[in-house]
Chains A and B, each alone.
Chain A
Amino acid sequence: MNEQLKIVARLFLVGAVLLASRTPAAPLKTEVKKAALRRGAAVAPLPRDKASRSHAPYESGQCGVCHVNNDAANPGPIRHASVNEECYECHDDVRDVMARKYKHVPAEEACTDCHNAHNSAEPALLSQEMVELCLKCHAGIKNQIAKGKVQHDAITKDKKCSNCHNPHAANIERLLIALPFDLCVTCHSRDGMMSDDGKVMTNYKKWLEENKVWHDPVRAKDCSACHRTHAGDNFRLLVADYPAAFYAPYERKAYALCYGCHNDKVVAVEETTTLTGFRDGSRNLHFVHVNRERGRTCRACHEVHASKQDHHIRESVPYGKSGWQLKVGYTKLPNGGSCAKTCHDTKTYNNKTLTSSVPAKK
């Protein structure tokens, strides 16, 4: 007995060390409980009054379609050793689906991990409500949804999780049905959609049709590069901090969203001849605009999704409480550009001259 206790203690110690040495999960990745939680759970028929949907063979009393006996009183075991092979006898289209590259492990292992083969109160004969069912294993997503200040309606409306994911298998990572953008515009291509904070949301199909210079993640149909898709703490479900206001004091952390890809040195260094074309000589004009106590945030000059002008420069900026639009007046020039009198007097920059235009410090 003592020997057994020692072995258990050693195993516990090894487990504890392994757990302690694990790198904390990155923010965008979430914990998944790999064990199939429904394995061995009841798949017996629900009482008729509790079920709103029935599987056709069960409803018609043809137990022998799936079981060895066509006798409701004594159906016996199913005809195949594998549950999935049993299901594929009729659902052979799902066998084709399961040939896709990215497979959902429970779907590979046993259809009954998620479906009740007899009847159910849920669509698609799910054994319980879809979100609850998915979150039983996807604990990280559950945590995000429980704690996130901003929730994505896509999780709770229409087809819920399967608005975006194929719970069986997909050609795209994360079991996505299509590339993120193609999924997002399913909803975000409507006029008059309102956010929870009462703001009108952009019709992105229309916006992108009207503005042909697209931000790279948009071109790549990769909305999730910048937006969380389940829930989050930042406005507009942004994956990281981004100043909500037109003016903000410069702080690297506040621009974490943009610096997820862009080089923070574009703003942080006063002089450069390599990091940006928005410079006069070597004087970094991003630094001039942003890196100050009352700095102009990225959105003061740039559209984040799409614009009509090069470098995602916006045509106008909202001014004052009424949101009056003030033209930016940017013109691209062979060696730089100019901004007409708007926020300041007309100014031109030339990035081909390599001398600094910063007045020498005395």
Chain B
Amino acid sequence: MGPGRLVTLAAAGITGLAGGLLAAPARAEQDRLDRRVQIGDTVEDVQLATLGGGRDRLLAKGIKANVFVFFRPEQERSLDTLKELASCEKEFAGKPVRFVGVVSDSWPADQVRDLVREAGTRMPVLVDEGDALYGALGIRLHPVIGIVDARRKLAAFEPFRQINYCERVKVRIRFLLGEVSEAEIARVDEPARSTTRTDDGVARRHLNFARMLHRIKQEDKALEEIQKSLAIAPSAAALALQGEILAATGKCPEALLAFEGALKIEPANPVALDGRKSCGR
């Protein structure tokens, strides 16, 4: 492993966990220990017997994303993964993406066929005699998905995930197809926290409520709601509405103060500009 790749792997590790609660461990080093073929390594093509009786290759030529999945029968996660890949096959139909399954020859062929049928996948299934390919790639888990780029470099290695597994795989395929950027991969790997209630949101609720009260001519109550909104998050929109209501009730000096406040935050705020004119400025 060259120093350049070590740097790349370390950077990838740090990026992958950026924003997390804990500091990133030496992820690249862990990845290296976990398997023999590393991200960026060339994956050697092999030709293996297929479940259907013929022979086929692990990697197809002229393909931007060769996706292989090592799976096994009698494992719920393998079934789930094959089902998800079956839906991926449809999603990437017509694109230069190829899916292939790999299964140990220690499993009875009929049992593998049943599993593949239940999953509904159409991908060719290669039979790994004596787990030779499994051992050569240094894989230790089932299911695991590898994605190889057009230059036959391992672009992604994804062991099973209970959450967002399919998303992680799909975004990496899309990256190889040139459909998304690395930033999108980072977004999928570290999704933004999905809270509902934010200070900004609550401030907006008070402001919107004020608008509703203004609509039904409940101006005093509307001004109270605006104050609540401003106390949480001052905004040009809230100040402009405050000015509008004050102006409508004949309180132009106070209204002008509110309009000026709005224009300090948003100099082109149209409500504040119009309101200022209506109060003679």
Do A and B come together as binding partners?
yes
* B48, chain A: closest CB distance, angstroms: 14
Please, which residues of chain A bring their CB within 8 A of the CB of B194? 97, 100, 166, 169-172, 175-178
Q: Are B140 and A263 in contact, CB atoms less than 8 angstroms apart?
A: yes
Q: How far is the CA of A182 from the CA of B22 in the complex (A)?
A: 9
Closest B residue to A56 by CB, please name it. Answer: B209
Partner of A89, one of B20, B76, B163, B212: B212
Asked whether A275 is an interface residue with its Cβ less than 8 Å from the other chain, the reply is yes
**Of B24-32, B53-61, B177-185, B267-275, which stretch is located at the interface?**
B24-32
Asked whether B15 is an interface residue with its Cβ less than 8 Å from the other chain, the reply is no
Please, which residues of chain B bring their CB within 8 A of the CB of A205? 21-22
Q: Are A219 and B27 in contact, CB atoms less than 8 angstroms apart?
A: yes
Please, which residues of chain A bring their CB within 8 A of the CB of B142? 261-263
B-facing residues in A156-197 (Cβ within 8 Å) = 166, 168-182, 185, 189
Q: Are B163 and A179 in contact, CB atoms less than 8 angstroms apart?
A: yes
Q: How far is the CA of A276 from the CA of B138 in the complex (A)?
A: 8
Q: How far is the CA of A173 from the CA of B80 in the complex (A)?
A: 15
Please, which residues of chain A bring their CB within 8 A of the CB of B212? 57, 62, 65, 89-90
Q: Are A274 and B21 in contact, CB atoms less than 8 angstroms apart?
A: no
Partner of A173, one of B22, B75, B164: B164
Please give the number of chain A residues whose Cβ is less than 8 angstroms from any Cβ of chain B in the complex: 66
Partner of A62, one of B80, B198, B218: B218
Asked whether A310 is an interface residue with its Cβ less than 8 Å from the other chain, the reply is yes
Q: How far is the CA of A181 from the CA of B194 in the complex (A)?
A: 14
A-facing residues in B171-207 (Cβ within 8 Å) = 190-196, 198, 200-202, 204-205
* A170, chain B: closest CB distance, angstroms: 4
Closest B residue to A261 by CB, please name it. Answer: B141
Q: Are A222 and B162 in contact, CB atoms less than 8 angstroms apart?
A: yes
Asked whether B248 is an interface residue with its Cβ less than 8 Å from the other chain, the reply is no
Please, which residues of chain A bring their CB within 8 A of the CB of B22? 205, 208-209
Q: Are A260 and B132 in contact, CB atoms less than 8 angstroms apart?
A: no
Q: How far is the CA of A175 from the CA of B131 in the complex (A)?
A: 38
Please, which residues of chain B bring their CB within 8 A of the CB of A23? 118
Chain A residues in contact with chain B, CB under 8 A? 23, 26-28, 56-57, 60, 62, 64-65, 70, 89-94, 96-97, 100, 166, 168-182, 185, 189, 205, 208-209, 212-214, 216-217, 219-222, 224-225, 259-263, 265-266, 272-276, 310-311
Chain B residues in contact with chain A, CB under 8 A? 17, 20-23, 25-27, 30, 33-34, 72, 75-77, 79-80, 104, 106, 118, 130-132, 134-136, 140-142, 159-164, 167, 190-196, 198, 200-202, 204-205, 208-209, 212-213, 216, 218, 221
